[in-house]
Amino acid sequence: MNTEFKTELKDIYNSESFREQGHKIIDILADYLSDATSNKVKYVLPPVSPDEMLKKWSNDFKEAPSENFEELIKKAIEYSHHLHSPNYIGHQIGPALPNGILAEIVGSMLSNGSAVYEMGPVNTILEKRIIEWMSQLIGYDNTADGFFTSGGTLGNLTALLAARQAKTGYDIWTDGVSENENLAVLVSEQTHYSSKRAIQIMGLGEKGAIPVATNEHYQMTLSSINDAYNSAVKSGKKVIALVANACSTATGTYDSLEEISEFCQEHDLWLHVDGAHGAPALISEKYRGLLKGIHLADSVVWDAHKMMLMPSLITAVIFKNGNNSYEAFSQKASYLFEKEATEEWYNLAQRTMECTKNMMGLKLYTSLMTYGTKFFGDYVTQMYDLTKECSEIISNSSDFELAMEPQSNIICFRFLNKDSRDTNVLQKMIRKEILKRGLFYIVQTTLRDKVYLRCTIINPLTTDKTFNDLLNEIRIIEKSVQ
Ligand SMILES: Cc1ncc(COP(=O)(O)O)c(C=O)c1O
User: Which pLDDT value is given to residue 280?
Assistant: 98
Alpha-helical (H) ranges within 15-111 are: 15-37, 50-56, 69-78, 98-110
Local confidence band at 327 (pLDDT 50, 70, 90 cut-offs) = confident
d(CA 95, CA 17): 30
pLDDT band at 457 (very low <50, low <70, confident <90, very high): very high
Distance CA 289, CA 186 (A): 24
Ligand 1 pocket: which of 192, 195, 254 to mutate (most atoms <8 Å of CB)? 192
CB atoms within 10 A of CB 61: 7
Region 111-138: what's the mean pLDDT?
95
The whole-angstrom separation of Cα 347 and Cα 135 is 20
Conformational region of residue 218, where left means phi above 0, alpha means psi within -120 to 50, and beta covers everything else: left
Please report the atom of ligand 1 found closest to the CA of residue 312. 10
DSSP-assigned letters across all residues of 351-408: TSS-SS---HHHHHHHHHHHH-HHHHHHHHHHHHHHHHHHHHHHHT-TTEEESS--SS
- Report which ligand 1 atom has the smallest distance to the Cα of 249: 16
Average pLDDT over residues 36-58: 96
Sorted by sequence, the CB contacts under 8 Å of residue 264 that are 6+ apart come out as: 242, 270, 271
Q: Does residue 247 carry a pLDDT above 60?
A: yes
Mutate to test the pocket of ligand 1, among 148, 150, 153, 154 (most ligand atoms within 8 A of CB): 153
* Closest to 476 (Cα-Cα) out of 432, 430, 439, 413: 430
Q: What is the pLDDT of residue 467?
A: 98
Is pLDDT of 335 > 70? Answer: no
Taking residues 196-223, report their average pLDDT. Answer: 96
Question: Is any ligand 1 atom within 6 A of the Cβ of residue 367?
Answer: no
Average pLDDT of the segment spanning 47-71: 95
Range with lowest mean pLDDT among 137-146, 203-212, 341-350, 391-400 = 341-350
Specify the residue with its C-alpha closest to ligand 1, atom 8: 152
Per-residue pLDDT at 338 exceeds 80: no
Q: What is the 217 CA–ligand 1 centroid distance (Å)?
A: 20
What would the mean pLDDT of 172-179 be, rounded to a whole number? 88
Q: Write the pLDDT tens digit of every residue in 358-377.
A: 999 999 999 999 999 999 99
State mean pLDDT over 31-35. Answer: 98
Q: How far apart are CA 364 and CA 147, in angstroms?
A: 13
Distance 273 CA to ligand 1 centre (A): 12
448 Cα distance to chain centroid: 24
Q: How far is the CA of 151 from the centre of ligand 1 (A)?
A: 7
Q: Cβ atoms within 10 A of the Cβ of 3, count?
A: 7
User: Is the predicted pLDDT of residue 403 greater than 90, yes or no?
Assistant: yes
Check residue 340 and give its pLDDT.
65
Where b means 16+ CB within 10 Å and e means fewer, 15-30 reads eeeeeeeeeeeeeebe
Q: Is 109 exposed, middle or buried (0-12, 13-18, 19+ CB in 10 A)?
A: exposed
Per-residue model confidence (pLDDT) at position 7: 59
150 lines ligand 1 (CB under 6 A): no
Question: Quick check: CB of 277 below 6 Å from ligand 1?
Answer: yes
pLDDT at 418 over 70: yes
* Ligand 1 geometric centre to CA of 276 (Å): 6
The response to whether residue 249 sits with its C-beta less than 6 Å from ligand 1 reads yes
Q: Cβ distance 260 to 242 under 8 Å? A: yes
Q: Which of 172-176, 366-370, 419-423 has the lowest mean pLDDT?
A: 172-176
Tell me what the mean pLDDT of segment 324-331 comes to.
Answer: 83
